[in-house]
Structure 1
Amino acid sequence: MSVKMDLSFFLLLPVHILVWLYSVLSFLPWYFLTGAQEKKALAKRIKAKSTTGRPDGPYRSVDRFDSLAQVDFPGKDTLDKLFDHAVEHFSHADCLGTRQVLSEENETQPNGKVFKKLILGDYNWMSYQEMDVVVSQFGSGLAALGQQPKNTIAIFCETRAEWMITAQSCFRRNFPLVTFYATLGEEAVAYGLNETSVTHLVTSVELLENKLKSVLPQIPNLKHIIYVDQKAVNTAAYPAGIQIHSMRAVQELGAKPENMSREIVRPSPSDLAVIMYTSGSTGRPKGVMIIHRNLIAGMTGQCERIPGLGPRDTYIAYLPLAHVLEMTAEISCVTYGCRIGYSSPQTLSDQSTKIKRGSRGDCSMLRPTLMAAVPEIMDRINKNVMSKVQEMSCVQRALFKLAYNYKLEQIKRGYDAPLCNVVFKKVRALLGGNVRMMLSGGAPLSSATQRFMNICFCCPVGQGYGLTETCGAGTITEVADYSTGRVGAPLICCEIKLRDWAEGGYTKHDKPHPRGEVLIGGPNVTMGYYRSEGSNSEDFFVDENGQRWFCTGDVGEVHSDGCLQIVDRKKDLVKLQAGEYVSLGKVESVLKNCSLIDNICAYANSDQNYVISFVVPNQKKLTALANQKGIKGTWEEICHHPVMEMEVLREIKEVATSIKLQRFEIPVKVHLSPEPWTPETGLVTDAFKLKRKELKNHYLNDIERMYGRK
């Protein structure tokens, strides 16, 4: 092994010398021609300050210190006005794009399993003007079917162009839109539809037949179901009191002169725009009430952190549109004249599960400039790429590591290494090769993964922090900020302050920076939960100036430049039998760095003195390790083998010790799950946040075994 390493070093010695010469000769011209000095000054500047001078805040962006921003375009204070503005300015430009499905084929995998694969064609585009016509006709058709202004209408559908068309139709006619994740269970959807007294529902054929059909008798108010697909549905199989329509038929109904001539009741800024049901990490889903003014303010803050947003951008849409991050991102893109190409996690890249081998994934076809991602997806990309690096030849691997480490050092200093980007060209091509900025939200992004995306995809990663209750707006890191582990300064639409949490040991007097529960205030803070007065009084309040605030339950630390770092979560804190407090979220974020782990849930009982964990292992790495140990069998048998549990525990202890977790924070026992946790399993939310209650119930027998009760 050492001979191979020596050989690779001597083979790469000319490369080392070349890189050194390149650095010496090119640094000064690059430094001045690219404005590196200005970028570094932006990175180091004060980004937010306390308006009171107190360490607990409130903190506001220095770019909008005197008053909070409420609108981006003067006079455009409702969502329908934003869309009208976009149609007026970008009428003939491409707006929404969908790929043709040319055929479906069955592909047999090496293990004998058969997967359905898609052969996809080019993107077909709808212009802003064409979308405007469809929005008018569909909205008119809904009105002809009896939908009334200010009466709720629901959408339960996958991320696709028809979702956005439906939303814009509802915004224009003041139909408050009730949204549900496509992965939400049928009982939860029925609960939400009944709670909001919905009479009209827009969905897809797949969700209608596989999820809704069985619970329709439980939803007495529902009268009309509109499916968005170009398919036929056997309407005889549904309850007699419910009419089933295709989206095209409703659009044709709306296009009739007598329906198009009906008066349109437009919304006001204080009218309800959306009731967004969160999949929630605990209990029943809650509907967050969002008025037009809230969304306009939130998007104003978000867009200010995306430099150059405009008609030259292409956004790839694949996250759930029922998530506030994706919905506001897409509405913002439409407002600024961008193209939106629709995708899914199963067709995103050439290697995605539904793409036939040798075919091109959506990123390769679309070549997006902007994309949003949750940390779970970025972690997966990171581990897949690094796994492929390990399969390279010794010289290739050494060259990759040389370029990676060199660029890492440059980025840490606030610079770049354009020469190294040639090495990462193939990695960058996984996402089309054209991405200029990525936005991460939904959960904390690890520093290692953020640096990986910076280096290999050659673009900044804006880490954001916000909640459904704040329209997804709170903080976003600036493009010039090359630090990691932080979520940036408050957006120009809101402010943040810290509230002491004595039980967790966090106060505004902590050194070196003040810490406490994060409260977000501003015009982007929503109106509370639908029919949930108890939660509203507990989580929302209005201060003496009439400003609404939301209590996030997250614990933050405000750095000296005004940027926020999320350090804990109140609900994740468990007190062990001996009195030590363990932050489960902190333990999980550290241990996700283990190479053998794809996902982890830490668990502790207050009547026990140690932490345990459930782990979804990395199948490739654990299988390879099992082969080294002479352990044979199916994937399930490998996961349940006690030797493999001990190997995962050994790596957990190594990583935990290197990152200096306290002894009582390190899991003592582990259960390996052969099944991954996806939103479909109900064990994680659509943003891949852990559902602790569901995970506890799912692994109850294993908990009892690991705590010695069985």
Structure 2
Amino acid sequence: MKLKEDINPLLLQVFRSVVWVYSVVTFLPWYFISGAGVNQARAKRVKARSISGLPAGPYRSVNCIDRLVLTLHQGVDTLDKVFEYAASHFPNRDCLGTRELLSEEDEVQPNGKVFKKVILGQYKWLTYEEAFNESRFFGSGLAALGQEPKCNIAIFCETRAEWIVTAQACFMYNFPLVTLYSTLGGPAIAHGLNETEVTHIITSKDLLQSRLKAILLDVPRLRHIIIVDSKPTNWPDMPRGIMVNSMAAVQEIGAKPEHSKVAKVRSLPLPTDIAVIMYTSGSTGIPKGVMISHSNLIAGITGMAERIPNLEYNDTYIGYLPLAHVLELSAELVCISHGCRIGYSSPQTLADQSTKIKKGSKGDTSMLKPTLMAAVPEIMDRIYKNVMTKVDEMSRLQRSLFILAYNYKMEQISKGYGTPLCDRLVFHKVRSLLGGNTRILLSGGAPLSPATQRFMNICFCCPVGQGYGLTETCGAGTISDMWDYSTGRVGAPLVCSDITLKDWEEGGYHSTDKPNPRGEILIGGPNVTMGYYKNHTKNQDDFFVDEKGQRWFCTGDIGEFHPDGCLKIIDRKKDLVKLQAGEYVSLGKVEAVLKNCPLIDNICAYANSDQSYVIGFVVPNQKQLTTLAVQRGVPGSLEELCNSTDMEFEVLRVITEAAIADKLERFEIPKKIRLSAEPWTPETGLVTDAFKLKRKELKTHYQDDIERMYGGK
């Protein structure tokens, strides 16, 4: 999608003439230097084929057409061996990095709210050898505290170096690691701990105080709490029978000769042993624990690594997404398997403009300058809207030149060309938001809008690999080819996965559909996990083994395969609602279209089957809403504007125009909306840690508004 040009026609003609002359003069040398022909061929090549010859598949990557790939390195078939391999090949290279906290202060905002601001120093690094030894001693110390092999142990902690050290310790000593999101509520935490019968938990001082402490009496089996923070802390008011130790103290115990000898006789894991029980974020109810074996994770990271060109030890990855999410855990394991550096961050300290960074000091991307980065669409959408808002604030000449450069680059990359002059003169400031060295961005967790994907490709001067996978498939399924600059697709199957399409009669999707086969996406292969923990009924519904012994997972997502073997997600079974008049509405499709509207930061479409129209809950963009209110002469604070029926009408008018422009059907366009002044964050419980909508919780939260919009109140 081109940006609309707003420039004097004469100046536009001059600019185009200069570009034309420049293109003609540089065409031949640049064509051969840049390898444009090769890039085009790579982008257009067939990337996967149906191995059965049928339109439904199974589809398999052409890079492994004879058989799926199971492991990265020969003989490295468990996760402890992955870390041993890395420590032996890259012992003195940086492994895990954490920024030093220099100072912390409270900053009072104009509205009276107090925000905590930090000034951070340089990254301090553990080498691969040091990280390996820390993990080994920690695992030995846990064993000395009574943790038994094949007995579950939990981690409830923010993303940080200690999380990975803990995970590697558990992999070494065959302790199945139960992972819990740091934003889960008390009942969900207690459910996970009780269901898995853990006696030991690793957490942080903040989470123990703010969340865990309140539910300790509801977890009767718990005996040991290990705090990852370096400063020792006394907890005199713990329930009777619970011991609290620091991570450093447990490592000291594990380093003692009488305990470190355990390493020689420890219970080595088998590929089929459970490595992780990962509790999903619970978008549809109580979180489910997904049992992931060592071989599952190794297959998954093998598939991901194959799709990242030139991955090596010189790469630097920035870790800030929740490690309790399979996307982040898999990405970091991929990096460890290749000796990359991992520097830790958080969404609040990521960039110079992030909420916790004191004005004038540096965010984490500026200090780390990562080459690799993963993000969920919610974060990319925010970056896109923030940058485009700044573009709108430019002078007319600046804005026009930016748009001309944007459209020129979009045309060039579609032909396989680079645009080094545009990158240096126009886009370097945008690129510097992520440190300036990013060579690959990986998007996962939810579909990325074509507009945002194209924007990231152009302005950050690197490919955006959009991936598709689920916790139940170790996050692995597909990743788009780095030379493929098409948008809206999630790429071809990874070398660890087969994908087939199953007809869905109710939704009207069939493998015989023209021009492309469509249906429910089923993922099969060694990365498909062992099922849900203590949930036999759900396992029977969602997993099955075919006649060849291959394990499959039914995703509930609807996709279509394009002729080059790439998959596009087009719908979701659970998001489909049949209206009173018989029309089917895909709520996810409506949301994906309307989130491109600058006025919308987030939206949840809703429909009752006994009603004839769709409604919506909208988190508006504060700046855009305020501007619209001034234009329409509506006074008030953000909360007052969101409660104004006049502003509801005005926002609905803008939404309707955007929906019509994007060719939504009449019955798909929301007829009534409710504006929300409160952003939806994992802390509010209305979205998951991956920022997916929790429809059940949103329905409960807005129940009165639903009744009002449907005429009940």
Instruction: Tell me the TM-score normalized by structure 2.
Output: 0.98
Partner of 1:509: 512
Partner of 1:292: 294
Partner of 2:668: 665
Deviations 1:211-237 (A, max 9, x none): 011100010110000010123433211
Question: Aligned AA for 1:538?
Answer: D
Q: 2:406 aligns with which of 398, 404, 407?
A: 404
Cα separation, 2, equivalents of 1:7 and 1:469: 51
Question: Aligned AA for 2:289?
Answer: G
Partner of 2:249: 249
Cα separation, 1, equivalents of 2:118 and 2:376: 25
Cα separation, 2, equivalents of 1:181 and 1:20: 53
Alignment of 1:473-622 (within 5 A): 473-622=476-625
Deviation at 1:606, TM superposition (A): 0.5
Deviation at 1:412, TM superposition (A): 2.8
Deviation at 1:111, TM superposition (A): 3.5
Segment of structure 1 superposing worse, 250-259 or 17-26 = 17-26
Seen in structure 2, the aligned counterparts of structure 1 residues 654 and 6 have a Cα distance that, compared at 3 Å, is closer
Cα separation, 1, equivalents of 2:612 and 2:168: 54
Segment of structure 1 superposing worse, 483-492 or 629-638 = 629-638
Partner of 2:53: 53
Partner of 1:703: 706
Deviation at 1:12, TM superposition (A): 6.3
Partner of 1:367: 369
Cα separation, 1, equivalents of 2:240 and 2:588: 49
Deviation at 1:8, TM superposition (A): 5.1
Partner of 2:183: 183
Cα separation, 2, equivalents of 1:51 and 1:563: 14
Q: Is the 8 A contact 1:12 1:399 kept in 2?
A: no
Partner of 2:689: 686
Partner of 2:118: 118
Cα separation, 2, equivalents of 1:507 and 1:436: 38
Q: Secondary structure at the match of 2:30?
A: helix
Computed over aligned residues only, the root mean square deviation of the Cα atoms, in angstroms, reads 1.2
Q: Is the 8 A contact 1:12 1:395 kept in 2?
A: no
Partner of 1:264: 266
Q: Secondary structure at the match of 1:87?
A: helix
Q: Secondary structure at the match of 2:434?
A: coil
1:78 aligns to 2:78 (yes or no)? yes
1:166 aligns to 2:169 (yes or no)? no
Question: Aligned AA for 2:330?
Answer: T
Q: Is the 8 A contact 2:36 2:415 kept in 1?
A: no
Deviations 1:139-165 (A, max 9, x none): 110010001110110000000000000
Deviations 1:235-281 (A, max 9, x none): 21110110000001101111111101122221010111000000121
Question: Aligned AA for 2:384?
Answer: N
Alignment of 1:6-45 (within 5 A): 10=10, 14-45=14-45
Q: 1:450 aligns with which of 450, 453, 456?
A: 453
Partner of 2:462: 459
Seen in structure 2, the aligned counterparts of structure 1 residues 69 and 6 have a Cα distance that, compared at 3 Å, is closer
Partner of 1:280: 282
1:436 aligns to 2:446 (yes or no)? no
1:336 aligns to 2:338 (yes or no)? yes
Deviation at 1:630, TM superposition (A): 1.9
Cα separation, 2, equivalents of 1:230 and 1:479: 40
Partner of 2:328: 326
Question: Aligned AA for 2:495?
Answer: I
Cα separation, 2, equivalents of 1:411 and 1:647: 38
Deviations 1:168-193 (A, max 9, x none): 00000100000011111121011000
Question: Aligned AA for 1:469?
Answer: E
How many residues matched? 706
Gaps of 5+ in 2: none
Cα separation, 1, equivalents of 2:337 and 2:9: 53
Q: Secondary structure at the match of 2:589?
A: helix
Question: Aligned AA for 1:386?
Answer: M
Q: Secondary structure at the match of 1:134?
A: helix
Instruction: Tell me the TM-score normalized by structure 1.
Output: 0.98
Q: Secondary structure at the match of 1:435?
A: coil
Cα separation, 1, equivalents of 2:158 and 2:217: 23
Question: Aligned AA for 2:675?
Answer: L
Deviation at 1:293, TM superposition (A): 0.6
Cα separation, 2, equivalents of 1:203 and 1:302: 29
Question: Aligned AA for 2:334?
Answer: S
Q: Secondary structure at the match of 1:538?
A: helix
Q: Is the 8 A contact 2:7 2:396 kept in 1?
A: no
Q: Is the 8 A contact 1:517 1:555 kept in 2?
A: yes
Deviation at 1:19, TM superposition (A): 2.2
Cα separation, 1, equivalents of 2:9 and 2:530: 62
1:381 aligns to 2:383 (yes or no)? yes
Percent identity between the two aligned chains: 69
1:311 aligns to 2:313 (yes or no)? yes
Cα separation, 2, equivalents of 1:15 and 1:212: 61
Segment of structure 1 superposing worse, 160-169 or 644-653 = 644-653
Q: Secondary structure at the match of 1:237?
A: coil
Cα separation, 1, equivalents of 2:490 and 2:107: 42
Deviation at 1:122, TM superposition (A): 0.4
Cα separation, 1, equivalents of 2:111 and 2:617: 26
Cα separation, 2, equivalents of 1:172 and 1:533: 29
1:639 aligns to 2:642 (yes or no)? yes
Partner of 1:101: 101
Deviation at 1:77, TM superposition (A): 0.2
Q: Is the 8 A contact 1:375 1:445 kept in 2?
A: yes
Q: Is the 8 A contact 1:501 1:516 kept in 2?
A: yes
Question: Aligned AA for 1:187?
Answer: P
Question: Aligned AA for 1:23?
Answer: S
Partner of 2:144: 144
Cα separation, 2, equivalents of 1:655 and 1:474: 32
Q: Is the 8 A contact 1:8 1:394 kept in 2?
A: no
Cα separation, 2, equivalents of 1:175 and 1:693: 34
Q: Is the 8 A contact 1:203 1:228 kept in 2?
A: yes
Cα separation, 2, equivalents of 1:49 and 1:293: 25
Q: Is the 8 A contact 2:203 2:225 kept in 1?
A: yes
Q: Is the 8 A contact 1:438 1:459 kept in 2?
A: yes
Q: Is the 8 A contact 1:52 1:58 kept in 2?
A: yes
Deviation at 1:27, TM superposition (A): 2.1
Partner of 1:130: 130
Q: Secondary structure at the match of 1:502?
A: coil
Segment of structure 1 superposing worse, 336-345 or 227-236 = 227-236
Question: Aligned AA for 2:678?
Answer: E
Partner of 1:348: 350
Question: Aligned AA for 1:207?
Answer: L
Q: Secondary structure at the match of 1:310?
A: coil
Q: Is the 8 A contact 2:92 2:129 kept in 1?
A: yes
Question: Aligned AA for 1:360?
Answer: K
Gaps of 5+ in 1: none
Partner of 1:192: 192
Deviation at 1:14, TM superposition (A): 4.8
Segment of structure 1 superposing worse, 362-371 or 233-242 = 233-242
Cα separation, 1, equivalents of 2:6 and 2:294: 64
Q: Is the 8 A contact 2:272 2:293 kept in 1?
A: yes
